[in-house]
A and B are shown apart, each in its own frame.
Chain A
Amino acid sequence: MTALARPVRGKPRPSLLGSTATPRWERIVERLIAAVAFVSVAAVLSILAFVAREAAPLFWEGREHLPDLILPRQWAGYDAPAHVWQPVGFPPKHDVVPLLIGTLKITGLAMLVAGPIALLSAVYIAELAPRRVREVVKPAIELFAGIPSVVLGFFSLVFIAHFLERLFGLTYRLNALVAALGLALTIIPVVFTVSEDALRAVPKSLREASAALGARRWQTTLLVVVPAALPGIAAAFVLGFGRAIGETMIVLMASGIAPVVDASPVSSARTVTATIAAELGETARGGEHWRVLFALGVLLFLITWALDRMGASAVARLRRRLHGPEAES
């Protein structure tokens, strides 16, 4: 105390008022960092603006074709009104419904396969596995997320397709199921990691409380830990879904890429992403086909953005639930 209060001998202490609020260089660095952050936000927004600008003229150029984008139509040579995606046919047919069906079918199947596997692995690793097992398995699963999707596409195309063909004697070697299984490989690490983090975020004190009340380990897991982590697990599924719906290469390679309208999991399918990837380079700039592809891009952008927001808000809800209302991030 006294040492602090005593002025240093021979050196008068400068007045507090002489030291201006914040040193200038600090303010410059802060501005720079803010500018960089702003640039990245601006980049995302300008991508959206660019994509939307290419799509927007659909709504005033050739407006009479708008209903054909989503409604079935009786085309020449068809027995009944149908949803047809045939952009190089004559006349070109741009009904996006087959693409949406393909996307939903493949993504849905992939979630159905990946969800339970990823969640059960997360529960096992977070709750039951000895530490040594966790230290090996967790990074191994997360490493999966780093495999280039073209490699997984190749794997699906060759091995999964071959295996399923032999197993079920399928008509179409490349189909929605093959693509979905390949896709599942990319979703599993996402759903696994986020759920595992959510489960591990459940405080030890809750597990102890449960044990002290005479709960067995599986009861603690099932009745305390998993319910407490539920918002985080929901976020994991939403993020996994968002990842799956935007995935391009695997579905392009393994789905058979035929815009089929049916509910069979083993018929070929064509997703929105694969369509854009395959066709954008082949079409006339500014044509209707071009515009429709960009509109599909906007749709994907909005869907993944919405899913991402949902995931983030679920994580925030998890935090509030575990740590009380004051624990806002």
Chain B
Amino acid sequence: MSDPKIDVRDLSVFYGKKQALFDVGLAIRERRVMALIGPSGCGKRTFLRALNRMHDLSEGARVTGSILLDGEDLLDERVDPVEVRRRIGMVFQRPNPFPKSIFDNVAFGLRVANLVTSAGLSDRVEESLRAAALWEEVKDRLDESAMSLSGGQQQRLCIARAVAVRPEVLLMDEPASALDPIATEKIEELIVELGKKYAIVIVTHSMSEAARVSDHVGFFYSGKLVESGGTKQTLESPKEKETQAYLAGRFG
């Protein structure tokens, strides 16, 4: 097998004195979807947010270990977290479009990074909206406020916004949990589609969602990675006792 896109080693996260994540090691592969599952408070979000250095934004959070992106440790103090976030995009649990026009939302990442000329901007916006399966619904009203979209559309807009800067990895934090079943289905189809191009890491509460969209799963429990492997094997015949109990619905 080729080298992983992201190789996480001995990753621990502390909030103040409290340790939330314990020595996690996990490999994330190119053009695969990795689902992180586990009960609330198990550390899967903490893990996800370490990957694009979101913990830098919160006072009192500390991250140790190493996260190798194509062999380079992005936790190294010489690394600019802004550069990391331009290569590793993120989609959040609740749709959080800016109170700006649809166009400006998608163009935001390109503009702040000065990535494309203004001539190339509208091409890139269209391409991104197409990639997020939103173009047909909004092409005639790009100047309207993003707040006028439905929740599902807003979330696809957030995905378009994230892929516009052409990241190498896409992180998704329960992207469908605030949406109705139809919108959820669209987002899941989109994840499968995007998974053919990017490495995707998705946190989800739903086992069926993990089964539908992911190639690999990692099961977290009280701050530790208990088990990881191919989605089918892990969900159907988990090796560890905690995983078996969780999947059987005995806690969660």
Chain A residues with CB under 8 Å of chain B are 131, 203, 205-216, 219, 223-224, 227-228, 321-322, 324-325
A-side contacts of B111, CB under 8 Å: 223
- How many A-B pairs fall under 8 Å by CB? 69
Interface majority SS (helix, strand, loop, mixed), chain A: helix
A208 pairs with B82, CB closer than 8 A: no
Neighbouring A residues of B161 by C-beta, 8 Å: 209, 213
Q: Contacts A214-B82, A214-B165 hold; do A209 and B112 have CB atoms under 8 A apart?
A: no
Comparing B34-42, B52-60, B71-79, B131-139, the segment that makes contact with chain A is: B52-60
Interface centre among B96, B111, B158, B161 (most CB of A within 10 A): B96
Binds A, one of B7-15, B83-91, B193-201: B83-91
Bound: A321/B158 CA distance, A? 17
User: Sorted from nearest, which 7 A-B pairs have the closest CB atoms?
Assistant: A214-B86, A213-B109, A212-B90, A205-B96, A215-B112, A209-B96, A214-B85
Q: How far is the CB of A210 from chain B (nearest CB, A)?
A: 7
Contacting residues, chain A, for B83 (C-beta < 8 A): 214
Q: Are B94 and A213 in contact (CB under 8 A)?
A: no
In the complex, how many angstroms separate the beta carbon of B108 from the nearest chain A beta carbon?
6
Q: Which residue of B lies closest to A222 (CB)?
A: B112
Chain B residue at minimal CB-CB distance from A205: B96
Which listed residue (B89, B98, B99, B165) contacts A210, Cβ 8 A? B98
Nearest CB to that of A202 among chain B residues? B99
Q: A215 vs B161: C-alpha distance in the bound complex, in angstroms?
A: 13
Report whether A213 and B99 are in contact in the complex, using a CB–CB cutoff of 8 Å: no
B207 at the A/B interface (Cβ < 8 Å)?
no
Q: Does B162 contact A (CB under 8 A)?
A: yes
Q: Please, which residues of chain A bring their CB within 8 A of the CB of B100? A: 227
- Pairwise interchain contact B112-A223, C-beta atoms closer than 8 A: yes
Closest chain-A Cβ to B214's Cβ sits at a distance in Å of 21
Residue pair B57, A208 in contact (C-beta under 8 Å): yes
* Interchain CA distance A227-B145 in the complex, whole Å: 13
Contacting A215 at CB < 8 Å: which of B59, B90, B108?
B108
Contacting residue for B112 out of A213, A227, A321, A324, CB 8 A: A213
Tell yes or no: B246 within 8 A of A by CB: no
Which chain A residues border B59 with CB–CB below 8 Å? Answer: 131
Say whether B112 contacts A216, CB under 8 Å: yes
Report whether B158 and A209 are in contact in the complex, using a CB–CB cutoff of 8 Å. Answer: yes
Contacts of A322 in B (CB 8 A): 99
- Indicate if the CB atoms of B108 and A203 lie closer than 8 Å: no
Tell me how many residues of B have a C-beta within 8 Å of chain A: 27
Distance of A265 Cα from B90 Cα, bound (Å): 53
Interface pair B96/A203, CB less than 8 Å apart: yes
Q: B113 interface residue, CB < 8 Å from A? A: yes
Bound Cα distance A224, B109 (Å): 12
User: Once the chains bind, are B165 and A213 in contact (CB under 8 Å)?
Assistant: yes
Minimal beta-carbon separation of B129 from chain A (angstroms)? 15
Would B89 and A212 count as touching, CB distance under 8 A?
yes
Least CB separation from B52: chain A residue: A212
Q: Is B92 an interface residue (CB 8 A)?
A: yes
Query: B63 an interface residue at 8 Å Cβ cutoff?
Result: no
A231 to B109, CA, bound (A): 24
Given contacts A228-B99, A321-B99, are A213 and B108 in contact (CB under 8 A)? yes
| B134 CB, min distance to chain A CBs, angstroms | 17
Is the CB of B24 closer than 8 A to any CB of chain A?
no
**Which of these, B86, B96, B97, B147, contacts A208 with CB under 8 Å?**
B96
Q: Which residues of A contact B54 (CB under 8 A)?
A: 208, 211-212
**When chains A and B are docked, how far (Å) is the Cα of A219 from the Cα of B90?**
18
B residues 145-189 in Cβ contact with A at 8 Å: 147, 158, 161-162, 165
Q: Which residues of B contact A325 (CB under 8 A)?
A: 147
Complex Cα distance A215/B165, Å? 12
Task: Using known A-B contacts A214-B165, A324-B147, determine if residue A205 contacts B99 with beta carbons closer than 8 Å.
Answer: no
Known: A215-B109, A223-B111. 5 other contacts (CB 8 A): A203-B96, A208-B92, A209-B98, A213-B108, A325-B147
Q: Is the CB of A205 within 8 A of B86?
A: no
A205 touches B112 (CB 8 A): no
